[in-house]
Amino acid sequence: MGLWLSEEQLLYKDEVRKMILDRVEPRAAEIDKKGEFPWDVKELFSEFGLFRLVVQPEYGGKDGLLSTLCVAIEEVAKACGASSMILGNQSLGASPLVLWGNEEQQKKYLPKVASGEYLASFGLTESDAGSDVAAVKTRAVPDGDSYIINGSKIFITHGDIADVLIIFAKVNVDGKDKMTAFIVDRGTPGLSTGKLEKKMGLKGSTTAELILDQVRVPAENIVGKIGDGFRIALDCLDKGRIMVGAMATGLAQGSLDTALDFVKNGVCNGAPLVKSQAVHFTLADMETFIQASRSLTHAAAFKYDHKEEGYIKFSAMSKLFATDMVMDIASRTVDLLGDYGCSANYPAERMMRDAKIFAIFEGTNQIQRLVIARDLLGK
């Protein structure tokens, strides 16, 4: 682990782990059962300064390194997948402003994102525009010194509670549609929440439909320039996929820890599980896959932070490997626990439900394979 992380980052990892074990892990089962956003955990993250990880230092951030964010988010995900989404989505939602915002936009929003006063959200996905980002149909039409936005978004994480949203819409310029990113504040007339998704996992993280009906935003709320939206979206996803790799690695580690606790005390057919060679082999495979995932994710984050050549490929590989891996680890844990693995009284069942979505959001793993192959083929 020390290959990619500094001594300071390793010490910070220990601090976050202690806080999560003390304050978040005891809440994880209840958060899942209630299926409601855990505002107490959000406030805890604010007090501890976790949201500072998503913003550059000049606006109240910590060190501005994705690798440090990944260290923290892995520790959160070990205990509670839904709580890791609070930190992860704060990063994704703020990324357009962090990476592309002008000085005035950054001064206005990022200090409040870093303190936790504002929750941020990323409004890209539509019913016909998931993996195909270019298929977005939401439109923005100029009207004086403003733009009028009409359309809808689906599967928007924390879209119902975010204070600031980045909405991607097309602007027609000389007969050509140009994807553009707009800042839309909560409470803007015409912005409303549609249905909330009832998901199989990550139940404490809300997922909303957004409806934009004649939403007026000033031209100064354009992030970058008209037509930059597609590049902004891809830049944010290249960053976010590494973060998802860290989430998946953390959840897999939490699942393995659950398996180890059970195996050390479990009995099958009168014999201790801990003496079974088959169990030994399964645990060895699980540990190996998790360590491989962690190393790949840290390597991707390091390359991203230092803008080393190939970081986009590593971003896709970390997301692909970690999110396929976590589902395998969660399934093996349920198998090891037997009947108890299917019981809501044990975290294995919750972790398996949480694990499934990671291979789907922020670009399906089929998309990651395309990104990796195109890089290899020089396209």
CB 50 within 8 A of CB 87: yes
Strand boundaries in the chain, DSSP class E: 120-123, 139-143, 146-157, 164-173, 176-185, 191-196, 207-218, 222-223, 267-268, 271-272
Q: What angle do CA 195, 124, 355 make, to 5 degrees?
A: 70
How many CB atoms neighbour CB 198 within 10 A?
A: 8
Token representation of residue 222: 């354009």
What is the C-alpha separation between 240 and 91, in angstroms, rounded? 8
Residue 148: helix, strand or coil by DSSP? Answer: strand
**Catalytic residue (one of 75, 126, 349, 362):** 362
- In sequence order, the 6+-apart residues with CB closer than 8 A to the CB of 350 are 28, 29, 32, 81, 201, 344
- In sequence order, the 6+-apart residues with CB closer than 8 A to the CB of 209 are 152, 153, 154, 156, 159, 193, 194, 195, 196, 197
Token representation of residue 155: 């599967």
Token representation of residue 357: 């979505």
Residue 362 annotated among the catalytic residues of the structure:
yes
The string of DSSP codes covering 44-56 is: HHHHHTGGGGGS-
Strands 191-196 and 271-272: unpaired
Q: What's the sign of the alpha-carbon dihedral 142, 143, 146, 149?
A: negative
What is the C-alpha separation between 62 and 51, in angstroms, rounded? 9
DSSP code, position 361: S
Which positions are catalytic? 362
